[in-house]
Chain A
Amino acid sequence: MSEKPIKGEKRVFLTGNEVVAWAAVAAEADIMFGYPITPQNEIMHYWTRMAPRFNKRFLQTEDEISAGFTTNGGVLAGLKAFTATAGPGNTLMQEPISMAEMMRLPVVTIVQQRGGPSSATVIYSQQEVTLTTHGGNGEGMRVVYSTASHQELYDYTIKAFNTAWKYRFPTFVLGDGYQAKMREPLTIYDPEERGIEVVPSYKFIGGAGKPGVDRPPVQLRNIYNMEEELLEVLEEQFAEFGKISPDVAECEYFGCEDAEIVVTAHGVVARGAKSAVKELREHGLKVGYFRPITLRPLAVKELRDIFSKAKKVLVAESANGQLDQLLKYAAYGLTTEMVSLFKPGVGINSEDIYDKVKTMLEN
């Protein structure tokens, strides 16, 4: 066994991509498969720099379709395998991720969103929400964590591996180009020293004993002969996803008890929303803050409770309503007015949200 990569707790000042690489090491990931695309490239760079020191592996494939399938293969071999991508790479990766969904493979994918559609910009967006939560030709049986700070990138990358291997649903950490490239302080740590269990990996196939005699045979399928056969498998998946959803779903909120307006945002935009709401409240204005941390599954109970009490909900996102769609589906039946601040592919600053809320309050 190689040495423990992180001993004790350490305050560091890193880019988000470095943070992800460190977190993957801390989560005891074994191998990364990847294909370069901005703005996630440095995840690969830092991982490959650290990999030999900690007895870990890396394979660069010929494209993202292959990176996704090799990640599936790594998981089938019992390794904690992961990949990272963005934009058009995320599009290509939906095919192997659909397979992972069908076969219930605990693959972990880090997405650093860039502008879309197509190659658009290499910089930033929140336009990969629909793709990451519901991409592929399946039913969105995945867990998606949307991070807002480097501390969270670290915490939730570790958590993503644990969630994936505990529940066997493909799991994503949804970051963006800003988070990928910016630097800010955070504390890195060994999860076990903090009492966080690192869920171990296990072999899916090739286990001990004779299949059918010593143990039930393992049959992982992504193709079925009959319609009814498929439906039976899917219904089982839906039931299980529904069962784990309350345990997996996370959100954060404050100031919602008396709020006339609840500002809702996810990921990096939630940072601006949070500081704007804090300032508005300091001025005595009844404004609340709600942020889904998991975009799939959503914390539906809290969301409905908070939205139902508000007069208006302001949804701020760097996309043209991708989060909004998820929220409205979850809020179906409520009559709270939903107002939007959409800037697809462009950052939303604290001042933008502050000004928008002020205008809403005046009208």
Chain B
Amino acid sequence: MANAIKIVMAGEGGQGVQSVAEIIAEAANEEGKECLYIPNFGVEQRGGVSVAYVQISDEAIGAPKFNTGDIVVALSDRALYRTKQYVGPQTIFVYDTSINVPKEDLPANAARILGIPAVEISKNELHPRVFNIIIMGAVVGATSVISREDAKRAIEHKLGAKFEKQPKLRDQNFSAIDRGIELVTKAG
């Protein structure tokens, strides 16, 4: 219960939090670790806040969900209000600086709060479609739960077929991981 690294990621439907959660969990699995990924799901087909829960450990993992995360990521204002409950005194809270919430609404009890301009960077420097991979880089950078190399290998595994057709995509995705890692290291 204490030994697993617990991650909550939340965003608007379509922001790609579920794919990122799945890639992180798959990468941990490839490393031979115990891991568990569970999405929230409801009756809606699109829209709404999408929340993903990931746990990674060297030991067997307990309940699929948990009360407090080690890292909580919120990518929209609604996602922020939805995920505040998972923040505790040990939690690293990551949010995208493009979201429009008053400063006092950020969780007051987090160990660290990291605002990162992932939306802006993906739009201006890389490509909007790698936004979620920057977030993945941020999670990897903040937790060291998987290595940079494993993260890239997992992306290659997931998107390799697309990369074959468009090699440029690989560079964009790998740069996005690097940028994400760099953002939290710098912000910390």
Q: Which one of A269, A274, A347, A350 has the highest number of Cβ atoms from chain B below 10 Å of its Cβ?
A: A350
Instruction: List residues of A (316-363) whose CB comes within 8 Å of B's CBs.
Output: 347-352, 354
A350 neighbours in B (Cβ, 8 Å): 1, 62-63, 66
- B37 and A349 within 8 A (CB): no
- B65 and A349 within 8 A (CB): yes
- A271 and B61 within 8 A (CB): yes
Residue of B nearest to A348 (CB): B63
- B1 and A278 within 8 A (CB): yes
A351 neighbours in B (Cβ, 8 Å): 1, 66-68
Cβ contacts A136-173/B at 8 Å (1 or 0 each): 00000000000000000000000000000000000000
The reply to whether the CB of A39 lies closer than 8 angstroms to some CB of chain B is: yes
- Report the minimal beta-carbon distance from A314 to chain B, rounded to whole angstroms: 15
The reply to whether the CB of B34 lies closer than 8 angstroms to some CB of chain A is: yes
Among candidates B25, B35, B43, B66, residue contacting A122 with C-beta atoms closer than 8 Å: B43
Among candidates B1, B29, B65, residue contacting A275 with C-beta atoms closer than 8 Å: B1
Residue of B nearest to A122 (CB): B43
The reply to whether the CB of A272 lies closer than 8 angstroms to some CB of chain B is: yes
- B42 and A123 within 8 A (CB): yes
- B42 and A347 within 8 A (CB): no
Q: In the complex, what distance in Å separates the CA atom of A271 from the CA atom of B63?
A: 5
Q: In the complex, what distance in Å separates the CA atom of A351 from the CA atom of B22?
A: 24
Q: In the complex, what distance in Å separates the CA atom of A184 from the CA atom of B38?
A: 9
The reply to whether the CB of B70 lies closer than 8 angstroms to some CB of chain A is: no
Q: In the complex, what distance in Å separates the CA atom of A321 from the CA atom of B61?
A: 26
The reply to whether the CB of A93 lies closer than 8 angstroms to some CB of chain B is: no
Among candidates A271, A274, A279, A347, residue contacting B2 with C-beta atoms closer than 8 Å: A279
Among candidates B38, B60, B62, B67, residue contacting A182 with C-beta atoms closer than 8 Å: B38
Q: In the complex, what distance in Å separates the CA atom of A184 from the CA atom of B37?
A: 7
* A182-B37, A185-B35, A350-B1 known; A276-B62 Cβ under 8 A: yes
The reply to whether the CB of A178 lies closer than 8 angstroms to some CB of chain B is: yes
- A121 and B42 within 8 A (CB): yes
Among candidates B1, B36, B43, B62, residue contacting A183 with C-beta atoms closer than 8 Å: B36
The reply to whether the CB of A134 lies closer than 8 angstroms to some CB of chain B is: no
B37 neighbours in A (Cβ, 8 Å): 182-184
A310 neighbours in B (Cβ, 8 Å): none
Instruction: List residues of B (23-78) whose CB comes within 8 Å of A's CBs.
Output: 25-26, 29, 34-43, 60-68
Residue of B nearest to A276 (CB): B1
Among candidates B29, B61, B66, B68, residue contacting A13 with C-beta atoms closer than 8 Å: B29
Q: In the complex, what distance in Å separates the CA atom of A121 from the CA atom of B41?
A: 10
- A352 and B67 within 8 A (CB): yes
The reply to whether the CB of A29 lies closer than 8 angstroms to some CB of chain B is: no
- B63 and A13 within 8 A (CB): no
The reply to whether the CB of A268 lies closer than 8 angstroms to some CB of chain B is: yes
A181 neighbours in B (Cβ, 8 Å): 38-39, 41
Q: Which one of B1, B26, B37 has the highest number of Cβ atoms from chain A below 10 Å of its Cβ?
A: B1
- A39 and B41 within 8 A (CB): yes
- A123 and B66 within 8 A (CB): no
- Report the minimal beta-carbon distance from A345 to chain B, rounded to whole angstroms: 13
Residue of A nearest to B2 (CB): A279
B34 neighbours in A (Cβ, 8 Å): 184-185
Residue of A nearest to B37 (CB): A183
Q: In the complex, what distance in Å separates the CA atom of A246 from the CA atom of B135?
A: 53
- Report the minimal beta-carbon distance from A234 to chain B, rounded to whole angstroms: 40
Q: In the complex, what distance in Å separates the CA atom of A350 from the CA atom of B55?
A: 13
Among candidates A38, A268, A349, residue contacting B66 with C-beta atoms closer than 8 Å: A349
Residue of B nearest to A182 (CB): B38
B38 neighbours in A (Cβ, 8 Å): 178, 181-183
Among candidates A177, A178, A274, residue contacting B62 with C-beta atoms closer than 8 Å: A274
- B1 and A354 within 8 A (CB): yes
B26 neighbours in A (Cβ, 8 Å): 13
- Report the minimal beta-carbon distance from A100 to chain B, rounded to whole angstroms: 31
A349 neighbours in B (Cβ, 8 Å): 62-63, 65-67
Sample (11) of A-B pairs whose CB atoms are under 8 Å apart: A13-B35, A122-B42, A178-B64, A183-B25, A184-B37, A268-B63, A275-B61, A275-B63, A347-B63, A349-B65, A354-B1
Instruction: List the 5 closest A-B pairs by CB distance, nearest first.
Output: A275-B62, A272-B63, A182-B38, A275-B1, A350-B1
